[in-house]
Structure 1
């Protein structure tokens, strides 16, 4: 709180001495709820804090995200209770923020079949890609629906000139027309 008021001080010819008086103070008692390094100290019980959050925000607003057995990114996570153990995450990278539905990209310039796009337009703004990775090919889960029998999506992680990193995908493999129409979509953002 003291640091927030430092820019308001007008020292005139300078400051020779300064005293900070604290008429009343209490210990914070803050501790980390969990860390990577195990210690002998008992873990903090989060249940009271979770109860307060649920009471204020509602039961549907407080949850954890856990991995789900699926290669398709929009099916790879599920909601669990706030105190449930989420389990172990797969080693492949997924976007931090997924869009509710993939959004169509226009004016995409890319070499087929295995190159990321060099340019694309999303929500009316043009982006120029500076770095892109090899595609991660994800096949449809044919046991769920018949429409996913031949579905193929090639996912690319790209970084644009402004530093933003996106998760893009192309429907289809570039060889078989049954796999998709080669349209491009944005599915999420990294970091």
Structure 2
């Protein structure tokens, strides 16, 4: 019987569903045609909903935010979404063509990949980026004379907490995107 040192396994091998779920988003996104990019459901009460393209833009924004939080490398990236308008207001997104949206989604997927290829033993550890963000937050609190004891005790975020947040967030938006595609008449079946 072969045994493996789990700490040395890659995260994407030890928790194989991480890569599968990210790739599933890419697969679902492939059904968003240029004609469907601006499609959004209409609600009788007039409630706001993201368009299919805005769903993909938001997924991309969150992937890029996570990548920026984990590492210290700067990426030339312009957010799709404008500033958060509050719970009762529609979000705004900058314009983008179908190819721009799809390329940004694919690029963000590629930038997440190195983080899920890291050794499993790093999953519960902070990264250079999370440590830098934590130290910056501590410095800002100290400058204001605020109590830092809770943040100090909490410590910097871990690779695992960032990846699991990303997956939970993306799973929700992917499910909504797939449902919206069905509502729009796209031939989306269960692709798993």
Question: TM-score normalised to the size of structure 1?
Answer: 0.27
Q: Which has the larger radius of gyration?
A: 1
Choose between structure 1 and 2 for higher RCO, CA contacts under 8 A separated by at least 6 residues. Answer: 2
In the superposition, the TM-score normalised over structure 2's length comes to 0.27
Q: Say which structure is richer in strand.
A: 1
